[in-house]
Structure 1
Amino acid sequence: MDINTAKSVLQNTFGYTDFRHQQASIISELINGADVFTLMPTGGGKSLCYQIPAIVLQGVGIVVSPLIALMKDQVDALKLQGVKAEFLNSSQDYEEQRRVEQLITSGNVDLLYVAPERLLSDYFLSLLDRVTIALFAFDEAHCVSQWGHDFRPEYQKLSIIGHRYPNTPKIALTATADMKTRDEIVQVLNLTGAKTFVHSFDRPNIQYRISEQKNSKEQLLRFINTEHEKDAGIVYCLSRKSVESTALWLTEQGKTALPYHAGLASDLKDNNQQRFLREDGIIIVATIAFGMGIDKPDVRFVAHLNLPKSIEAYYQETGRAGRDGMPANTWLAYGMQDVIKLKQMASQSDGNEQFKFITQRKIDALLGYCEVSSCRRQVLLNYFGETLAEPCGNCDNCLNPPVTWDGTSAARKALSTVYRTGQRFGVGHQIDVLTGKKTPKITSLNHDQLSTYNIGSELTAMEWQTVFRQLISMGYLAVEMDYGVLKLTEKARPLLKGECAIQLKVQKYKKPKQAQNKKKSIECDLSAGEQINFEKLKQQRSLWAKERNVPAYVVFHDATLMDIARINPKNSNQLLEVNGLGKTKLELYGQKIIALLT
């Protein structure tokens, strides 16, 4: 079987003229019976890599996914494109599950979505033994790895699939994995002979921006009001309490903001998630329990009010913005308490010493990324083993290069104070000593008699916070995990002795240059007439989506509507030029679109 059959499915079913990136090679490997491991960024077209082979090959394609809450939307989208797709999970009653099982055994399903727990049950494996299996697709494959940012223990049991079905092609897909995570995915899923495809991690449409945490809620509101007043977005917080208070506060400011975390009642979580997927302009405020597998293409911003746990987590979460390829913003605010809290959480985890060590290294890498003065995208891509030759021009450091100053003297004062206080205290006490405060703790310990007492009065307490945070991120200070105590590292010795100098960043940034034009750039180069057509199409799409009880993007992506608005089709042949408009959708909506625009 050659790739032309697959290309025909791409064009007629999914409405795209040609494959993107490495899709053709991946699909070719699978339809010829080989195993594949692919690393492709969010929005890069991973799903087509297994959907098309499952349609082309004889039998049913089994898609293993942890995303029970999203399976229905995924299947609804495929059915709307004419694909014979189904799912099996605990949300279905007995009769519905039996209906799907009968379709499978009669050979009337091309794609079946299941959770790993169901796949591994004796009952389901015995069902699979009676049918022809086209392939196995392990989506969100980073869940396999204990070194990944979203480890699911049940995923490690999937090793049985490789042994039980050695001759069935398998594909593991993820958007985020460092080398250690990749190695474990390949080992656990028995993909040692698999062909590996690693696509570029770059998402040039996303702008990366990081701010020092001051009044983070006010900063967030200003960011939304200035650039994303009516846009859909995700706000990530570290704790459930912060999620609820932030969602309530944004609601009080006139925003439609909904909370999402693991502690909420299931029906409320599901309702909030469905509103976010189906309605325009909803802001979801969430812990990292939210987001994996979210296929909403028009998320225009992702904001973090606290540090994520690693660069992998940051990349995965920010990658939920701008999946349609149009401009999107990411914004992160963080402070010293984030650093200390993350390190404490890492040290108190249930993992072994090696796991804790690697976790600490990941936190250090993230801190380095946050504090860098150069192009953020170059640093981000370099972490994943990719080189960007020139600065990106679309991050805060490129748009507004940070001001640096000779921080050698301030750094030596800070390090000396840590040393003279016995390396037994946290940041707050060190700053109190440096700025000459007379706290009960200082006087009782006689720290007002130290030579470093009040030698730092030229800087404010907030400025000293910035100095200490940068010294930690640069590796001159370490945070003792249990109590947030600061310790000198070996790297601090030459700096204390005056053998080297360092530059520190001034944490004062101007307003980003392109902020005020963001909305205009999203709707690209639509003329006035095309814009009118686009708005007509959006309104009609909402009605069609409500009729089918699916999110609007399941009917058509914004990019497809923009394409239609530009072409302004007068007949079906002109509609065939539109990307994302396959044969089934053309039959369902083609004449209605032409009538709407006439």
Structure 2
Amino acid sequence: MEIKKSLFDNLQNFFGFDNFKGEQEAIITNIIQRRDTFVIMPTGGGKSICYQLPALMSEGTAIVISPLIALMKNQVDQLRAFGGTESIAHFLNSSLNKAEIIKVKQDVLSGETKLLYVAPESLSKPENIDFLRLITISFVAVDEAHCISEWGHDFRPEYRRIRQVISNIGDNIPIIALTATATPKVQQDIVKNLQMNDSTLFKSSFNRPNLYYEVRIKRNVVKEIVRFINTHAGKSGIIYCLSRKKVEEISEALNLNGIKSLPYHAGLDPKTRADTQDKFLMEDVDVIVATIAFGMGIDKPDVRFVIHHDIPKSMEGYYQETGRAGRDGGEGVCVAFYSEKDVDKLAKFMKDKPVAEREIGTQILKEVIDYAESAVCRRKQILHYFGENFDDAGCNCMCDNCRSQRTFFDASEKLRNTLIMIRELGEKFDDQHIINILMGVDTSQITAYNHNKLPYFGSGKEDGLLVWKSLMRQALLNNYLSKDIDNYGLLRLTKSGNGFIDNPHSLKFVLNKQMELAEDDSDDAAQQGGGTIDVELLKMLKDLRKKMAKQKVLPPFVIFQDPSLDEMCTHYPISLEELKQIQGVGQGKAMKFGAPFVALISKYVEENEIDRPIDLIIKSAANKSALKVSIIQNIDRHIALDDIASSKGISYEDILREVESIVNSGTKLNLNYYIDEMIDEDRQDEVYDYFKTAEVDSIDNALKELGSDDYTREELQLMRIKFLSELGN
């Protein structure tokens, strides 16, 4: 009773809360009574209070092991604000200078410091071990404990040594391990590594009912993101990308489109990262575009959306990152973009890793792919991954799959036959192998086991791959099968699976979506058209182009090419600034030819009362990739094109394509120094005269007209580039 009163008094006095959330009270009581404690609690559940409050109430100093400097700083600042003194909490890590380290140690030795945050690397330094032996340690908190396990999404080898270091510091020091994401396998690893076999486990439900989950095919992704954010104007959000380069690109694109955004990744200096974090917390910026380095321990309750520009590496990572949305119980929208290219990139990253690590990584990635491609309730899949059964009726249509019209198929006989086959094969194969047998796919492994001679081989071909992928996925989700993840993901029949063979019943499964994975994530993706072409406007624009071409004695394609006109008829640009964003226009062409076109479009829009899709007119940074910039610089220095190609490790055809792309986007290049060496003056004049009168923009037509015996394709391409650069830009 005394402990209970003291708990509530301290909760009120220190944190200003009247009541505990969930199992916080039981967890805190357990650690105060010096028992090892294992806490699995989703992001937003209030994990930090589970070690902060008992540290304040216990004799001595609690050591909190935390993986990120930013996370430590954030929590120490909060504790100092609550407690009113600087010395109540400190961190000890590589960001401190000698004088700061001395001050920290003085405060700890004097007994003023109740929580000392350390990185696992700092903890294992001999001088720090010697120091910690001098003080009374109330307990050790291992935050983000999933970092211990290779099956966790953020494996840190230093975490493996924590138990050894604690044993070196002293005997019988209680441990509280905390994580927001832990599959059954990760839980086993944590308990085994920290030697917490007698610990009390507190596991909260992983369900976050206020979060809406959605997976979209990755097409025109910048346009999609800008449109999404514009419909959530003024709300805070995080966008995760896999690479630093993509983080910078997306952040720049958002700013160009009037969205206050900053990039965040490990390549930025610590001060910039800290400033970015502060600006996000203080709402000076609305959106952070980040690698997974951002977000651990960021205590911002009102993040309203989390977007994954690239599919995440693991379900744990996905859950942790989406968990940063709606921590206050309010709106939280989680959108992930999915493409096969992303999957291929992630698979490539794993190619050079040791075999065991590659096996683990492949299985972890496969779970993400299955999640993205499945038509089953997203929430059910996430919770199943963490060992929690969930009736998808409880989703309340808070995922795209539950909101959409789904197709079902009769699965009873198919499931029974598949379970029988798996049992007869000795439960020694993974789901892909079983699907290959059913589909009649003769891989080297199938042949090695003579499974191409089985009566089942090819028996499911007529049903199609989607049916079997759907069946295998839902057999796992509904616990007819389980995966032995310690053993290459081999399938095992569960009690329910064996029971279904003996007593089958009517069963319907959801058919997976047909994933159309044509990705358009090129540099120009932000500028691509997405609507139906306005045929009437197109005719008017072509007439205007023809009229202008006659006035300027130019072929029409020099003014604007057909794809540019097509896009004008979906985006309706009514200013030169908007016209510059149209594919193949750029600054030069817009200034030289644009005014009559935007005037015509503006008048057309007004007269026909057209509701322009403003959010689709996405501004993007000029396409000045490192290669293009280098080519322009080399041409300015009069370096021969074949020498530039050789120095860049690309073919001559590729360099011509790059130069053509630069000219088409409106940049003027002077290639006379090179062309004069390659083609004599008379032949240049002949080609130039041809292009002046050409009806269509076609190298094939030029070859036919001028004679393939007299000119090569490359010579005509060069002359066409010269012609467009001089007259069009």
TM-score, structure 2 normalization: 0.56
Answer yes or no: is 1:51 the counterpart of 2:16. no
Distance 1:218 1:120, change over 3 A: same
Are 1:152 and 2:156 an aligned pair?
Answer: yes
2:230 pairs, out of 225, 228, 237, with 225
Q: Secondary structure at the match of 1:505?
A: coil
- The C-alpha deviation readout for 1:213-245, integer Å capped at 9, x for no partner, is 11111111111111x211111101122221111
**Match of 1:2, SS?**
helix
- State which of 194, 201, 208 in structure 1 corresponds to 2:206: 201
Counterpart selection for 2:307 from 296, 303, 306: 303
CA 1:49–1:499: 2 relative to 1, 3 Å: closer
Aligned counterparts, 1:276-315, within 5 A: 276-315=280-319
Q: Among 79, 89, 108, which residue is 1:104 paired with?
A: 108
User: Displacement, 1:280?
Assistant: 4.3
Q: For residue 206 of structure 1, what is the amino acid of its counterpart? A: L
Asked which structure has the greater RCO (Cα within 8 Å, sep 6+), the reply is 1
Deviation of the 1:174 alpha carbon: 0.5
2:649 alignment counterpart: none
Amino acid at match of 1:193: D
**Alpha-carbon distance in 2 for matches of 1:264, 1:500:** 45
CA distance in 2, matches of 1:102, 1:135: 20
Quote the RMSD (CA, aligned, Å): 3.1
Measured after TM superposition, the shift of residue 398 of structure 1 is: 5.9
Contact kept, 8 Å, 1:61 with 1:111, in 2: the verdict is yes
Q: How does 1:35-46 map to 2 (within 5 A)?
A: 35-46=36-47
Listed as ranges, the matches of 1:515-594 within 5 Å are: none
5 Å-filtered alignment, 1:187-586, equals 187-226=192-231, 228-345=232-349, 348-349=350-351, 351-393=353-395, 397=399, 401-403=403-405, 493-496=458-461, 502=467, 503-505=511-513
CA distance in 2, matches of 1:101, 1:237: 39
Q: State the shift of 1:288 in Å.
A: 1.4
Q: TM-score, normalised by structure 1?
A: 0.67
Q: Residue 380 of structure 1 aligns to which amino acid in structure 2?
A: I
Q: Cα distance 1:166–1:390, how it changes in 2: closer, same or farther (>3 A)?
A: same
SS at match of 1:135: strand
Q: CA deviation at 1:47?
A: 0.6
Whole-angstrom CA distance in 2 between matches of 1:62 and 1:141: 14
Partner letter of residue 137 of structure 1? A
Deviation of 1:407 (Å): 11
DSSP-derived class of the 1:380 partner: helix
User: Aligned-pair distance for 1:3?
Assistant: 3.1
* Shift in Å, 1:30: 0.7
SS in 1 for 2:178: strand
Q: Provide structure 1 residue ranges, at least 5 long, that are not aligned to the other structure.
A: 409-469, 481-489, 509-598
* Structure with the bigger percentage of helix: 2
CA distance in 1, matches of 2:22, 2:197: 23
| Structure-2 change in CA distance of 1:53 and 1:263 (3 Å) | same
Write the distance in 1 (CA, Å) between the matches of 2:440 and 2:363: 11
1:117 is aligned to 2:118: no
Aligned residue for 2:333, secondary structure, equals strand
CA drift of 1:344 comes to 2.6
Q: Match of 2:43, SS?
A: coil
Kept in 1: contact 2:440–2:458 (CA 8 A): no
Aligned to 1:82: 83
Over 3 Å counting, the alpha-carbon distance change for 1:218 and 1:161 in structure 2 is same
* Structure 2 match to 1:11: 12
Please list the CA deviations of residues 451-510 of structure 1 after superposition, one character each: whole Å capped at 9, or x if unmatched: xxxxxxxxxxxxxxxxxxx99xx9989999xxxxxxxxx9983332569983442669xx
Aligned mates of 2:442, 2:19 — CA distance in 1: 52
State how far apart, in whole Å, the 2-side matches of 1:76 and 1:475 are: 61
SS of equivalent to 2:296: coil
Counterparts of 1:498 and 1:279 in 2: how far apart (Å)? 53
- Residues 34 and 397 (structure 1), Cα distance of their counterparts in 2 relative to 1, 3 Å cut: closer
Q: Which amino acid aligns with 1:12?
A: N
8 Å CA contact retained: 2:378, 2:401: no
Q: CA deviation at 1:163?
A: 2.0
Give the counterpart letter for 1:250 in structure 2: L
Any idea what SS the aligned residue of 1:79 has? Answer: helix
Aligned counterpart for 1:181 among listed residues 179, 183, 186: 186
Cα deviation per residue 1:353-386 (whole Å; 9 max; x = unaligned)? 3332232222221122112223211111111111
* Structure 2 stretches lacking a partner, 5+ long: 411-434, 446-454, 468-510, 517-729
Q: Equivalents in 2 of 1:154, 1:307: separation in Å? A: 27
Q: Quick check: 1:391–1:398 contact (8 Å CA) kept in 2?
A: no
Identity %: 43
Helix, strand or coil for the counterpart of 1:13?
helix
SS at match of 1:255: coil
For 2:404 and 2:442, the matched residues in 1 are separated by 23
CA deviation after TM superposition for structure 1 residue 405, in Å: 6.2
- Could you tell me how far apart the structure 2 residues matched to 1:351 and 1:182 are? 24
Seen in structure 2, the aligned counterparts of structure 1 residues 476 and 291 have a Cα distance that, compared at 3 Å, is farther
